């Protein structure tokens, strides 16, 4: 089973786009997305120095455009992708790449959103002097306790031995003076405390824009940074993308879900290396492929042939599907069990796991065609639960 992942801010390096832009098709598509964003991304991907591409408002559109166009190099026809990819995920801003790749939003919508996201986060970072520090190694509980002690937020939880603390520079200095045992601290060269409450103004800006974004249900399951749940509803996915700006990235839970799904191969979109590196440490036995340059495309396609299998979501216009957001025991709600026509937003049941109890909501209304599980069944992330036929509900 194949999972495609898209990296987040910090994975870019000066000139990384040069070999990709030698291909006329890639160049034309990239220039189109650059035009949509209103930023000369060709310049920033080829000629700009490290400081220029480190800027939040530049780095984020650059990463999303690169991931989307590279995906088209691998899968010129999107239907080929849906027949091979089991799930997608993106780290931080990479979630926009994943959402567009799953066809929940268009590439053009993704570029407008990422342009505004980067600008809003850069503006929010200027309000207070903040930053981020990677805490490498140490006992996990002790690391989290030290972060909390100094009023910081574990903004990125990237799995065993890698938690990123974020907050004011004074708070980070206090952590540096009193680090957790056996941990190494590495200050990150970023503009501010991303994925913390300091990004609140950016959330407000993006929430306003998101209300005008038309969405579709994802054609491939998307694993959410918020909690590692599988998301199918396009509207829910966009809401999560907005909220994630000021909420911690739980990449550890995303990797847990990949393992629950039965992943055997992870392919990282360019500029690749960060997420496959984390996977090598945290997901023993899972094969990885970091797509960095176009001369790797044939090898990437072979990797896809080896690990690819169809998504469990086979969407047709005649019916919709409700899927499990995670693993656990599914309990059907009394309302859903006794109703033939569901209103949008109906809670069809509850998913119970060792970690939490999660309501399962039918984002769309419709007539119940078929229950695909029984009450009390143990289900896996992304497993289809209920098939609905779209129908107006008064």
239: alpha, beta or left? (left if phi > 0; alpha if psi -120 to 50): alpha
Cβ neighbours, 10 Å, residue 25: 11
User: Sheet harboring 2-6: ordered strands across?
Assistant: 230-231, 222-223, 87-90, 2-6, 265-268, 287-290
The Cα–Cα gap between 164 and 12 comes to 18
Structural Rg of the chain based on CA atoms: 21
Q: Say whether 307 is catalytic.
A: no
Q: Which residue has the tokens 């036929």?
A: 389
Annotated active-site residue in 11, 34, 92, 362: 92
Cβ neighbours of residue 228 under 8 Å, at least 6 residues apart? Answer: 250, 252, 253, 254, 255, 256, 257, 326
H-helix or E-strand spanning residue 114? helix 107-125
Alpha carbon distance 305, 171 (integer Å):
48
Q: 2 and 309 in contact (C-beta within 8 Å)?
A: yes
Active site residue 331: no
Q: Which of 91, 150, 195, 232 is catalytic?
A: 195
Q: How many CB atoms lie within 10 A of CB 286?
A: 19
Instruction: Please give the sequence-ordered ranges of beta strands (E in DSSP) within 287-365, or none if there are none.
Output: 287-290, 320-323, 328-332, 341-342, 346-352, 357-362
Q: First and final CA of the chain: distance in angstroms?
A: 41
Nearest to 306 by CA among 254, 270, 260, 266: 266
Active site residues per annotation: 92, 195
């Amino acid at each position: 089973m194949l999972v495609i992942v898209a990296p987040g801010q910090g994975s870019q390096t000066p000139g990384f786009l040069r070999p990709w832009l030698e291909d006329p098709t890639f160049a034309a598509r990239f220039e189109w997305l650059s035009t949509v964003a209103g930023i000369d991304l060709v310049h920033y991907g080829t000629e700009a120095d490290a400081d220029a591409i480190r800027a939040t408002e530049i780095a984020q559109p650059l990463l999303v455009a690169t991931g989307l166009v590279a995906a088209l190099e691998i899968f010129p026809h999107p239907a080929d992708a849906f027949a091979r990819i089991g799930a997608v995920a993106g780290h931080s801003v990479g979630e926009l790449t994943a959402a567009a790749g799953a066809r929940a939003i268009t590439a053009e919508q993704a570029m407008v959103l990422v342009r505004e996201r980067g600008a809003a986060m850069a503006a929010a970072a200027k309000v207070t002097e903040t930053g981020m520090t990677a805490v490498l190694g140490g006992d996990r509980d002790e690391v989290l306790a030290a972060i909390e002690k100094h009023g910081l937020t574990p903004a990125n939880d990237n799995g065993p031995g890698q938690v990123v603390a974020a907050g004011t520079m004074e708070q980070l200095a206090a952590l540096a003076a009193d680090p957790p045992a056996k941990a190494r601290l590495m200050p990150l060269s970023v503009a501010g405390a991303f994925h913390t409450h300091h990004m609140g103004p950016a959330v407000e800006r993006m929430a306003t824009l998101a209300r005008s974004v038309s969405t579709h249900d994802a054609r491939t399951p998307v694993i959410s940074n918020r909690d590692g749940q599988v998301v199918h509803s396009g509207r829910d996915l966009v809401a999560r993308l907005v909220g994630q700006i000021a909420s911690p990235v739980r990449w550890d839970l995303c990797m847990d879900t990949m393992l629950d799904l039965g992943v055997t191969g992870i392919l990282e979109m360019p500029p690749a290396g960060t997420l496959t590196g984390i996977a090598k440490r945290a997901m023993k036995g899972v094969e990885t492929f970091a797509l960095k340059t176009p001369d790797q495309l044939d090898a990437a396609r072979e990797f896809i042939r080896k690990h690819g299998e169809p998504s469990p979501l086979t969407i047709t216009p005649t019916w919709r599907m409700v899927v499990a957001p995670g693993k656990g025991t599914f309990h059907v709600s009394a309302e859903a069990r006794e109703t033939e026509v569901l209103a949008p937003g109906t809670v069809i049941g509850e998913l119970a796991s060792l970690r939490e109890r999660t309501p399962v909501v039918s984002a769309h209304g419709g007539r119940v065609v078929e229950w695909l599980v029984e009450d009390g069944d143990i289900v896996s992330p992304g497993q289809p639960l209920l098939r609905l036929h779209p129908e107006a509900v008064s």
